[in-house]
Amino acid sequence: MKNQIWAVILSIGVALSGYFIYCGIDALANKDRHVTVKGLSEREVMADKATWYLSVKVSGNQIERLYDQLEPKLQTVRKFLKRNGVSDEEMVASAPDLNDRSDWYNWAEQRGKIDQYELTGHITVVSRDVDKIRAIELNQQELLKLGVMLNGSAPNYEYSGLNDLKPEMVQEATQNARVVADKFAQDANCELGSIRTARQGQFEVTSHEVFPYKRQVRVVVNIDYYLK
């Protein structure tokens, strides 16, 4: 009777040993079976802040007269902005810059062709109303009719709502990566397992190819799945 019991125990032990050996071999054979996929999420968003650097220039050979010539032009620009909805809080004036062009002026061939001094006044507009700034930019010809020509670049548009987009975009990118991995496993006659590793790329905010007041937001995630 004892011999039979020991035989049963031995058989169970052998069977369990075989099973564990099989599992170990199977795990060893499958540990390197994985697939790495990328998931992409993109958004096109409207900018929510505009910064516009405006400048007005006057030139002459008598410094004391330049300031008297510059101030009326700056006042014209301020009135134009206010008529178009820009508040005092959205306008910041800076001290004017004086450029002495004596080196050019003193050359014999340049004398009488250029003024010796150039004075530039600056007004910076910072607004959260992007549509308003866009409309003003398109209406600059009104200033030309008033005898004022603006110098400077176009408005600079920014987007500050990235943190609100991040959770939704990461989720979408992860789901897109899963779709690609499922398709790969199906084509390879495998079953998709759990995530082996995952890495989220940096969020990229770039200018729109056509519309300067829009931004393109992009994120890519890299996920490594086990294959069964």
List, in order of start, the domains of the chain with CATH numbers. 30-46+160-227 (3.30.110.170), 49-158 (3.30.70.2970)
Q: For residue 27, what pLDDT is reported?
A: 46
The count of C-alpha atoms lying within 13 angstroms of the C-alpha of 28, restricted to the half-sphere facing its C-beta, is 6
With the C-alpha atoms ordered 9, 14, 19, 21, is the resulting torsion angle positive or negative?
positive
- Can you tell me the distance from the alpha carbon of 117 to that of 121, in angstroms, rounded to the nearest whole number? 13
The H-assigned helical ranges of the chain are: 2-30, 63-83, 102-105, 130-138, 141-145, 162-187
Q: For residue 112, what pLDDT is reported?
A: 59
- Can you tell me the distance from the alpha carbon of 93 to that of 53, in angstroms, rounded to the nearest whole number? 10
* pLDDT tens-place string over residues 88-146: 999 999 999 998 877 655 555 555 567 788 999 999 999 999 999 999 999 988 888 88
Count of Cβ atoms closer than 10 Å to residue 104 Cβ? 14
pTM over 0.85: no
Q: For residue 117, what pLDDT is reported?
A: 87
The count of C-alpha atoms lying within 13 angstroms of the C-alpha of 42, restricted to the half-sphere facing its C-beta, is 6
Q: For residue 1, what pLDDT is reported?
A: 54
Q: For residue 104, what pLDDT is reported?
A: 59
* pLDDT tens-place string over residues 10-53: 444 444 444 434 444 444 445 568 888 999 999 999 999 999 99
